[in-house]
Amino acid sequence: MASLSFIIGIIGNIISVLVFTSPIKTFSQVVKKKSTENYKVLPYITTLLSTCLWTFYGLLKPDGFLVLTVNGIGAVFQFIYVALFLIYAPPDKKIKIANTIAVFNVGLPGSVIAITLLAIHDNSIQLIFVGILCAGITIAMYASPLSSMRTVIKTKSVEYMLFSLSFFLFLNAGIWCIYSVLIKDFFVGVPNAIGFVLGATQLILYTIYKNKSKMSVKSRDVMREESPTELVKGAIEMQANDQEINLKNQSLNKGSSMPKQQINRQNSMPKITQTLSFGPRELHHNCAPIDDVEVGEKHQP
> 279 lies in a domain?
yes
My answer on whether 232 and 209 are in the same domain is no
Q: Which of 195, 223, 251 is the last residue of a domain?
A: 223
My answer on whether 192 and 231 are in the same domain is no
> 96 lies in a domain?
yes
Three-state SS string over 185-243 comes to CHHHHHHHHHHHHHHHHHHHHHHHHHHHHHHHHHHHHHHHHHCHHHHHHHHHHHHHHHH
My answer on whether 219 and 239 are in the same domain is no
Q: Which of 184, 207, 223 is the last residue of a domain?
A: 223
My answer on whether 232 and 150 are in the same domain is no
Question: Residue 256 gets which letter from DSSP?
Answer: S
Q: Rounded to 5 degrees, what are φ and ψ at 37?
A: 50, -125
Q: What is the pLDDT of residue 301?
A: 44
Domain that residue 95 falls in: 2-223
My answer on whether 110 and 52 are in the same domain is yes
My answer on whether 190 and 250 are in the same domain is no
Query: pLDDT tens digits, the chain, 301 residues: what are they?
Result: 568 999 999 999 999 999 999 889 889 999 999 998 888 888 899 999 999 999 999 999 998 999 999 999 999 999 999 999 999 999 888 999 999 999 999 999 999 999 999 999 999 999 999 999 999 999 988 877 777 788 888 888 887 677 777 888 899 999 999 999 999 999 999 999 999 998 898 889 888 888 775 555 444 444 344 444 444 444 445 555 555 555 555 555 555 444 444 444 445 444 444 444 444 444 444 444 444 434 444 444 4
My answer on whether 157 and 14 are in the same domain is yes
> 87 lies in a domain?
yes
> 185 lies in a domain?
yes
Q: Which of 201, 223, 245 is the last residue of a domain?
A: 223
Q: What is the pLDDT of residue 282?
A: 44
Contact 169, 181 (CB under 8 A): no
> 300 lies in a domain?
no
My answer on whether 11 and 129 are in the same domain is yes
H-type helices in the chain, by residue range?
A: 2-21, 24-33, 42-60, 65-88, 91-101, 108-114, 123-143, 146-155, 163-183, 186-226, 228-254, 265-276, 280-285, 291-295
My answer on whether 189 and 105 are in the same domain is yes
- Tally of domains within the chain: 2
Q: What is the pLDDT of residue 158?
A: 80
